[in-house]
Each structure stands twice: as C-alpha cells, then as structure tokens.
C-alpha cells in the first residue's frame, strides 16, 4: 500500500487546533500520507496556507468560499481567493450549493459558486464541491460550462446513482466519508456501489462526519473506518480500495505526474 489519501478535510478548523499534533501523529500511524485541506471562508484561508507550508509533505491546500458562508464575504473576496491560488498546487474548494439551509439566498449561492468555477477553470485547478439538496441547480450551473479539464470531486456524495454518469461526463469524481459507515444510509451505499472505481475517492471531512462508533470529532486517521465500510459494500479488500482511492486522488490533485515536485504519493 502506498499510503492513504484523505481527499477532503478541514484541519484548520478551530476545534482541532489544540490537538493537531496528536491528530497528525495518529494520521501518520494509520498510514495517511496525504490530505486535501479545504478552506471555507476568507477568515480561514490564511490558516490553510500556513498548515500547507508547515506540513508540505502531508497537506495539499484548497481555497474556496463554502455555501454556508457566502454572506460573510468581503467585496474583494474573489481577488483575495485568486491570490491564494498563486500556490500552483492549490485546489479550489470547498465550494458548492446547499439548499438544505433554511435561510439562504439560492441565487446568491449560485452566483458565488459560478464565480469560483470560472476561477478554477481559468487557473486550471481541481474543484472540491459540496452539494446538498441542490442537484438540479448544480447541473444547471455546471452543464452549460462543460467539462472540468482539471477534474475535481463531489465530496461526501449524497446524490442519486442516476446522476453519477452525468457528473463523470463533466470530469468529476466522488468521495465518500464517514456517512457510509452508518447503518441505514442505504442511499449513500447505493451511490457508492454505482461509482466506477476510477472515479472513487475516500475522505473524512474532519472534524465533521465522524464514522459510526466515534463519539466526537472526526480526524484523518478515521479514513481506515471509511475504507473498511467501502470494502464491505464493494466486496474488495481495504488495501485495494486504499490504493485505488489514493491513486485517483493523486491524479486529480496533480501529485501523480512526473513534473510534480512531490512525485507519486
């Protein structure tokens, strides 16, 4: 096994700050070799950047304005975001649509999402997309713009199996989190089983989405539980899935190519 790859988490989250050394130690002990750490709003982009500079062997940064925080943005938010993308390895995320929010302006969310999609295309970066109860609008936004030449993923995928081929046509892959470890998540399992292996990723969404049996915060070491659940539902070994998901993530985040400074993960 080359090492596990956590395709989506938030190590900059303030809830993890007092325990980060232990969290990173446990991640290493569990075999996690790489994580994508996603920003969520202007206020946490500097912390994501600082972590990615402190732990360049482990952390790939992504910067984006999460749909929950669109109202907090400053007038210059898009320029600020672009300045963080000077780091050529950085992705764009977490971005997306969340229509489960009670108080939200759906058009405002769509506008902010569209601006970031365009930025990702212009800067040739992979995207990390959050989508809850907004699948029709997601496709309305994405399909006219065409394929993401630099790929990306829909994180903690909760859409239907039927949408998967349309999202693949757009160049997207799918990551699954601790939610697939919960008994009763039939919808999640059906989607998991419908994803072609070359588009499959694993994530923890730390510190959220703890796997079943974990009482408290999620952390990258829990990727093992996610892979174990995947292994049961997909009838493949954990090692196989660890390798496949790591290779897929490395390809998307530019860590698999010869011209990458990091080399293969």
**Which residues would be at the binding site for Zn ion (CB under 5 A)?**
94, 205
Among positive and negative, which fits the CA dihedral 139, 141, 143, 146? negative
The first and second tokens of residue 7, run together, are 């395709």
| Least Å from the CB of residue 196 to Zn ion | 23
| Least Å from the CB of residue 131 to Zn ion | 11
139 close to 187: Cβ distance less than 8 angstroms: no
113 close to 105: Cβ distance less than 8 angstroms: no
| Least Å from the CB of residue 155 to Zn ion | 6
Nearest CB to Zn ion, comparing residues 141 and 209 = 209
Nearest CB to Zn ion, comparing residues 44 and 205 = 205
| Least Å from the CB of residue 177 to Zn ion | 8
Nearest CB to Zn ion, comparing residues 15 and 122 = 15
Nearest CB to Zn ion, comparing residues 98 and 205 = 205
Closest-approach residue to Zn ion (CB): 205
Nearest CB to Zn ion, comparing residues 6 and 205 = 205
**For residues 183 and 211, what is the distance between their CA atoms, to the nearest angstrom?**
11
**For residues 246 and 34, what is the distance between their CA atoms, to the nearest angstrom?**
9
Among positive and negative, which fits the CA dihedral 239, 244, 249, 251? positive
| Least Å from the CB of residue 159 to Zn ion | 16
Contacts (Cβ under 8 Å, ≥6 apart) of 213: 181, 225
Residue at token pair 């530019």:
254
| Least Å from the CB of residue 240 to Zn ion | 26
Q: Which of 222, 239, 219 is nearest to 231 (CA)?
A: 239
Nearest CB to Zn ion, comparing residues 44 and 94 = 94
Residue at token pair 């993890």:
16
């Amino acid at each position: 096994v080359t090492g596990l790859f956590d395709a989506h988490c938030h190590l900059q989250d303030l809830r993890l700050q007092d325990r980060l050394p232990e969290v990173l130690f446990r991640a290493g002990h569990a075999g996690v070799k790489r994580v994508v750490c996603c920003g969520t709003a202007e206020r946490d982009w500097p912390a994501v950047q600082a972590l990615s500079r402190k732990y360049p062997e482990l952390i790939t940064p992504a910067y984006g304005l999460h749909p929950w925080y669109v109202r907090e943005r400053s007038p210059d938010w898009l320029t600020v975001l672009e300045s963080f993308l000077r780091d050529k390895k950085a992705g764009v995320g977490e971005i997306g649509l969340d229509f489960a929010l009670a108080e939200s302006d759906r058009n405002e969310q769509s506008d902010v999402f569209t601006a970031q999609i365009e930025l990702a295309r212009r800067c040739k970066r992979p995207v990390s997309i959050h989508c809850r109860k907004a699948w029709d609008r997601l496709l309305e936004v994405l399909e006219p713009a065409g394929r993401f030449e630099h790929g990306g993923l829909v994180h903690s995928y909760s859409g239907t199996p039927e949408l998967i081929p349309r999202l693949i046509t757009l160049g997207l892959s799918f990551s699954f989190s601790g939610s697939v470890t919960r008994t009763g998540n039939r919808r999640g399992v059906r989607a998991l089983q419908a994803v072609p292996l070359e588009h499959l990723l694993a994530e923890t969404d730390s510190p959220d989405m703890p796997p079943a049996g974990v009482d408290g915060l999620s952390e990258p070491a829990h990727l093992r539980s996610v892979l174990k659940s995947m292994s049961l539902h997909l009838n493949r070994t954990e090692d196989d899935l660890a390798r496949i998901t790591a290779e897929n993530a490395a390809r998307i985040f530019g860590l698999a190519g010869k011209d990458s400074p990091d080399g293969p993960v």
